[in-house]
Amino acid sequence: MQVVFSAEMKTLSFYKQNALALLSTIYGARESANIVNYWIEARLGLTRIDQILRGEEFFLFESYDIELQELKNRKPIQYIVGHTFFYGLKIGLNTATLIPRPETEELVREVVKLIDATKAKTIIDLGTGSGCIALAIKSLRPDVDIVGVDINPKAVEQARENAHALELDVSFIVADLFEYTLEKADIIVSNPPYIPLSERQDMEEHVVAHEPEGALFVPDEQPLLFYEFIFRLGKQTFANRSGWMAFEIHHLFGEEMKRLGAKHSAKEIKLLQDLQGKDRMLLAKYGRTD
């Protein structure tokens, strides 16, 4: 029996080699290979091993031409396929949510250490976006109550969808950080906007063109705008109880963040480096010092 393929069906090798030939001139050979492998796995369900073993098989890849053009235009692959992976979790994304970075996984690790050291039971994630921080913490410490807060309804909608898909019991609410009040928390965690607008011109085109500006940038004259307010909020929240604040920060503002914590009466301040040796996280303790 002769097998007849439709005109749209092509071998996996064709899809890959055609894409790599186009994209390598834009992203370079290594990054292009990673992008194409990720794309093929997301769209055709083929692992990287499958892609090696089944290279000469025919597949129907209906969105190929449109999405290849999007990749050519530097749209991040995570937005094209609608998800990324963070701390082993599949995190859905939309235009209102940032693509989480590896550095943010380091912040999650530090918060989990705080939970274990303090027996914390309640965590608030301010500026939650896709919910990646809150959901990763919940997956690691399911006994902790976690609430994620974001001003953007589209971001909160995505975070709720992620919680449902991952079957993780995290509450997400829409609220303006600058009008938000907390009744109680053991740990406040936040990865707020912290990039001065003046740095925009030096950033990668795909970030500036496609990721939400409101989740990235702050005025040059107020680079610690969000941290200032969150510290005030934390100082009030921890006025009569112990607690910690955990931030991801701009690597050039570590010392300024330490001074800001001291200004807002933190009892203990820890500036931590990421795996690249850059100042990236700040932990601030309130309440008892023992």
Q: What was the pLDDT predicted at 2?
A: 38
Whether the pLDDT of residue 146 is over 80: the answer is yes
Q: Binning pLDDT at 50, 70 and 90, where does residue 208 land?
A: confident
* Sign (positive or negative) of CA dihedral 149, 154, 155, 161: positive
> What share of the chain in percent tops pLDDT 70?
97
For residue 43, the surrounding DSSP H or E stretch is helix 29-44
For residue 244, the surrounding DSSP H or E stretch is strand 243-248
Q: Binning pLDDT at 50, 70 and 90, where does residue 288 land?
A: low
Q: What was the pLDDT predicted at 249?
A: 98
Dist CA 148 CA 153 (whole Å)? 12
* Mean predicted confidence (pLDDT) in 4-14: 74
Quote the strand ranges of 82-204, DSSP E: 83-86, 89-92, 122-126, 145-150, 171-174, 187-190, 195-196
Dist CA 212 CA 152 (whole Å)? 11
Instruction: Annotate 181-226 with DSSP letters as a single string.
Output: --S--SEEEE----EEGGGGGGS-HHHHHHS-GGGTEE-TT-TTHH
Mind listing the pLDDT tens digit for each residue in 62-116?
Answer: 999 999 999 999 999 999 999 999 999 999 999 999 999 999 999 999 999 999 9
Mind listing the pLDDT tens digit for each residue in 184-203?
Answer: 899 999 999 999 999 998 88
Dist CA 265 CA 277 (whole Å)? 27
* Mean predicted confidence (pLDDT) in 146-152: 97
Residue with token string 């009569």: 240
Antiparallel, parallel or unpaired: β 268-273 and 171-174: unpaired
With residues binned 3-state (H G I as helix, E B as strand, rest as coil), the percentages for the chain, rounded to 5, are 45, 20, 35
Mind listing the pLDDT tens digit for each residue in 209-259?
Answer: 889 998 999 999 999 999 999 999 999 999 888 999 999 999 999 999 999
Mean pLDDT of the chain: 93
